[in-house]
Amino acid sequence: MLTYPDARSVVRALAPDEPVILNRPHAATRAARFFVEKFPGKSLYAVKANPSPELLRVLWNAGVTHYDVASIAEVRLVRGILPEAVLCFMHPIKAPSAIREAYRVHGVKTFSLDSVEELEKIVAACTDDAGEAATDLRLCVRLRVSSEFSELSLASKFGCDLTEGPLLLQQARQHADWLGVCFHVGSQAMSPFAYVQALDRTRAAIAEASVVIDMIDVGGGFPSVYPGLEPPPLEDYFTIIHQHFYALPIAYNAELWCEPGRALCAEYSSLVVKVEKRRGEELYINDGAYGALFDAAHVDWKFPVRALEDDLIKPEAEFAFYGPTCDDADYMPGPFALPEDIQAGDYIEIGMLGAYGAAMKTDFNGFGATQSLIVEDEPMASLYDGSRARKVSDNVVSLR
């Protein structure tokens, strides 16, 4: 992949007519090292946030050895790129053929579930042709927890509640070599207290089930930083999780896992778009709701923006964006602050699109073509450049 110093030099060199994704491997490396060194347990990368092969290699080289995959296509993808990675199939509803292929062909042992039906499906799919049941299954029961501290809820679709959880833990224990509890507090959790609540619920489920628990997986939800969404330092999350993990009634050697998606890759990518037309305070740009800006359109996410022209000097005004497709829904309300005299032909860099941005692009209406390049400058915001962390304090927990 070609390397440039920054977005401005890309525009000067290429004047691109189509959107360009700018990747920052150094930013993903820094995020991965942060989790590997400071999270008091194991960090699995949640592949759905950004499955790009280059990023997977960057994370592996930075020390991320475990990957949370949710479909057989993600299993095949990661196995093809990282033959030694540990893959954990953490979607609670899977096709039997996907479970069978993952277990038999790709060496996947860890599966999540939130129902007896799924437990039976996993057990059947991992039984061999002679009728011998698998003895090496690592099962994780997914609990439903609140998403009240998060910007994007994951509370309704998956997870069993406290009336079903304890029984399911007992049933899963009979088939599992290793039994865990997992949950997801929702994406972009703005307070560490989200995990406290979820771990309290975990405690209640374990106490009632009275089975040996070998692993607690606190899922994803670790935030990145966006305009208007500035979370506390990640060290605060890690400290609080570690304290509450230690207080659980679990095996003395139980492991602590987490599954960050957003926090590992949000800073990895930005996007250069071209303004095709201006109508008042609305800019028609060449990426949108069906491209990398899905979240800007559909959940009103605010991404940082900057104009890439040197000659725009007027004060900033607030703009909304239209994407390139013929659909009215291809609209991003923002508001996005840009120089007042921005106009057709100018370029804009939109930041923090490494998570659920670059991964969301479709070819709808013929607008999917995108080039990817590497740039060397800093991402438009960072949780890891030392600017936001409190002084490295005594309460930073590290197992090293």
Contact footprint for ligand PLP (CB under 6 A): 46, 48-49, 68, 90, 184, 187, 219-222, 259-263, 355
Q: What is the DSSP letter of 384?
A: S
What stretch of H or E contains 178? strand 178-182
Shortest distance in whole angstroms from residue 86 CB to ligand PLP: 15
Strand partners, 150: 189
Nearest-angstrom CA–CA distance, 303 and 28? 18
**What residue type is assigned to position 260 of the chain?**
P
Nearer to ligand PLP, 171 or 188 (CB): 188
Shortest distance in whole angstroms from residue 189 CB to ligand PLP: 8
Shortest distance in whole angstroms from residue 400 CB to ligand PLP: 23
Shortest distance in whole angstroms from residue 151 CB to ligand PLP: 9
Nearer to ligand PLP, 154 or 307 (CB): 154
**Backbone phi and psi for residue 40, each to the nearest 5 degrees, phi listed first:** -80, 50
DSSP class per residue in 183-211: ----EEE--THHHHHHHHHHHHHHHHH--
Decide if 42 contacts 257 (C-beta within 8 A): yes
Nearer to ligand PLP, 110 or 370 (CB): 110
Q: How many CB atoms lie within 10 A of CB 391?
A: 6
Nearer to ligand PLP, 221 or 304 (CB): 221
DSSP class per residue in 99-132: HHHHHHHH---EEEESSHHHHHHHHHHTS-TTSP
Nearest-angstrom CA–CA distance, 342 and 396? 45
Shortest distance in whole angstroms from residue 90 CB to ligand PLP: 5
Shortest distance in whole angstroms from residue 145 CB to ligand PLP: 12
Residue spans of beta strands (DSSP E) within 245-330: 255-258, 269-279, 282-285, 305-307, 316-322
Shortest distance in whole angstroms from residue 108 CB to ligand PLP: 15
Shortest distance in whole angstroms from residue 263 CB to ligand PLP: 6
CB-closest chain residue to ligand PLP: 220
Nearer to ligand PLP, 66 or 388 (CB): 66
Decide if 174 contacts 210 (C-beta within 8 A): no
Shortest distance in whole angstroms from residue 32 CB to ligand PLP: 13
Nearest-angstrom CA–CA distance, 108 and 110? 6
Nearer to ligand PLP, 165 or 261 (CB): 261
Nearer to ligand PLP, 221 or 323 (CB): 221
Q: How far is CA 12 from CA 25, 119, 360, in A?
A: 22, 56, 27
Q: How many CB atoms lie within 10 A of CB 164?
A: 17
Nearest-angstrom CA–CA distance, 23 and 269? 4
Shortest distance in whole angstroms from residue 364 CB to ligand PLP: 23
Nearer to ligand PLP, 127 or 153 (CB): 153
Nearer to ligand PLP, 235 or 259 (CB): 259
Q: How many CB atoms lie within 10 A of CB 81?
A: 17
Nearest-angstrom CA–CA distance, 103 and 89? 10
Nearer to ligand PLP, 8 or 94 (CB): 94
